Amino acid sequence: MKFKSILVLSTVILLSIFLSGCWSEDTSGGNSINSNGGNQNEDYSNSPLSYFFHTFDMNVSGAAYLTEDYANNTATLHTSAGALSGGLTINGNGTYVWNSTWEGRVIQGNWEETDDPDYPIVLLKGEDGRDWKVEKDGERDIIIWDQNSISKNGHPIE
């Protein structure tokens, strides 16, 4: 049983590394296109939001929970490994580039400033077509949240 658990964990880690892949973005200076077909001209690079303007390694945290069997006086700890989840670049001009390992493609989109001090940015039409709220996590990291049940952590790679 121990060997099987190690094999499953190793497979999950290797799969997440494989799926994280490598990606690139257009740095030719062309105009970014927003969701309604126009050019995104607003520049936020000198605003308090500049905290978010980086390229982040994204990951999904592991999980652990306990189930108790009172009849047999036992408790079982269930764990799952975290996984790499691609990369995300948030630009100061209102655009983002997301290497989605979930969808297996690069998503180019726009973000908007919100009135929510906890989630000052929302990525529009991101992974799974959802809008993802973005918040600070500590001094450098971010957390993105699909406003439902999924969250991902990001650490700047620059």
Question: DSSP labels for 82-112?
Answer: -EEEEEEEE-TTSEEEEEETTTTEEEEEEEE
Query: Residue ranges of the domains in the chain?
Result: 2-23+38-156
The pLDDT value given to residue 100: 87
Residue 135, exposed/middle/buried by CB under 10 A (0-12, 13-18, 19+)?
middle
The pLDDT value given to residue 37: 36
Q: Using one digit for the tens of pLDDT, what is the confidence trace for 27-43?
A: 334 333 333 333 345 66
